[in-house]
Amino acid sequence: MIETDVIVVGSGPAGSSAAKHAALGGAKVILMDKKSEIGSPKRCAEEVPVAGLEKLGIELSPRWIAKRIDGIRILTPDGTDIWLTKDEVNLSEADCVLERKVFDKHMAMDAARAGAEIRIKTLVTGIEKIENGFIVETESMGKKQDFKCKILIAADGPEGHVARWAGLLPAAKAKEMGSCVQYEMCNVEFEKPGISEFHFGSCAPGGFAWIFPKGDDIANVGLGILPHKAEKTAKEYLDDFIAKSPYLKNAQAVELNVGGDPAGGMTKKLYDDNIMVVGAAAGQVNPLTGEGIIPGMIGGMYAGQVAAQAIKEDCSKKFLKLYDKMVREELDYEGYKEVQDYIYSLSDEEFNELCHALQEESFDEISANKVLKKIIEISPKAALKLGKLIM
């Protein structure tokens, strides 16, 4: 039996963040992942806000930034588009596109440099609650090994088992789990370089399609749907989208990525005695955009900090409630679900009308709140459903 203070299951950005901050706080930490290569395969569109990385104290590196984004382009079913670029407005939420396979390793290395022990190719096969912690059962290359910890942090993704085994509810109901598929493609043509595209309407029911540039002719091209709103599979919608796009007529796929995205917001129960849940396993995903890297890392940071403190004081749920308080104050997505429901309830005709109206509007700054306020101002339907959110 190997004993440690904290075990983190899952070495994605959220798990590595938790391991790093727990180790920085003086805890003895083991970070486990079932994969033989951290960061692969990727299950992500890879675009994140630069401000979020800076807030986490992460120094930007050209090793894992594939492209800096200069603006966004919003398109509706009839081809109407809105350009919001840094030449025209203040991009208060500028993004970059990551190379996740490099970024995830970088984050895990950060955890290791902080003092965490990393165990790759280590599958957690079960957990057992004991009086002062958990027994974690694992298998690695045919060898079974048990670990004992005082704090267990579940960071094993939206389909993870650890939280369920501990009796905590899953992050998302099946109805709220987005189905996402993406190709990384070359020979992509761009009308303007460095612009991320968002396509709304029936091309992606319950979600949207995206083209996120990663290089001069390279992009992530994908979409997410809510299956209960769709008549086909996500891949069928994506293949149709690509076939109709003039910018993708010569594009070739070099990688296929698939995965689920919990779109229903954070789960109600993020902790219990000796356990916390972070990242996509906890539903720490922006319900409006589907972006989960920064929210997950923020959740991981707070869980790691609280875990290190709990080891010195009290590992009960009474103390770990602090993590819940911290993360909910930081990731305040109140009202985002209502906005999501409104946007994804629009017909193609309503999307077109809204975009036509937005074309006539001027923006001095681009942020989610600014765009939302404009939508409420110009759309009676939006004002009726969403007006209370900005009062």
Global pTM value: 0.91
**pLDDT 10s per residue in the chain (391 long)?**
999 999 999 999 999 999 999 999 999 999 999 999 999 999 899 999 998 999 999 999 999 999 999 888 989 899 888 888 776 655 555 789 999 999 999 999 999 999 999 999 999 999 999 999 999 999 999 999 999 999 999 999 988 899 999 999 766 677 778 899 999 999 999 989 899 999 999 999 989 999 999 999 999 999 999 988 889 999 999 999 999 999 999 999 999 999 888 878 888 899 999 999 999 999 999 888 888 999 999 999 999 999 999 999 999 999 999 999 999 999 987 777 777 778 878 889 988 888 888 777 666 655 556 666 667 676 766 666 665 555 4
The C-alpha angle 320, 321, 327, rounded to 5 degrees, equals 100
Upper half-sphere CA count for residue 269 (Cβ side, 13 Å): 11
| 347-385 pLDDT tens trace | 899 888 888 887 776 666 555 566 666 676 767 666 666
**By the 8 A CB rule, do 104 and 48 touch?**
no
C-alpha 372/C-alpha 391 separation (Å) is 12
Query: For residue 355, which phi and psi values (nearest 5 degrees)?
Result: -70, -35
Compute the distance between CA of residue 208 and CA of residue 201 in angstroms, rounded to an integer: 7
Q: Which two tokens stand for residue 270?
A: 């993020």
pLDDT in tens, 51-77: 899 999 999 999 999 999 988 898 989
One DSSP character per residue, 141-158 reads TTEEEEEEEEEEEE---T
E-state strands within the chain: 2-9, 29-32, 47-49, 65-68, 71-75, 81-85, 90-91, 95-98, 117-119, 123-130, 133-140, 143-154, 177-186, 195-199, 208-213, 219-225, 252-262, 271-272, 275-277, 365-366
Do 343 and 298 contact (CB within 8 A), yes or no? no
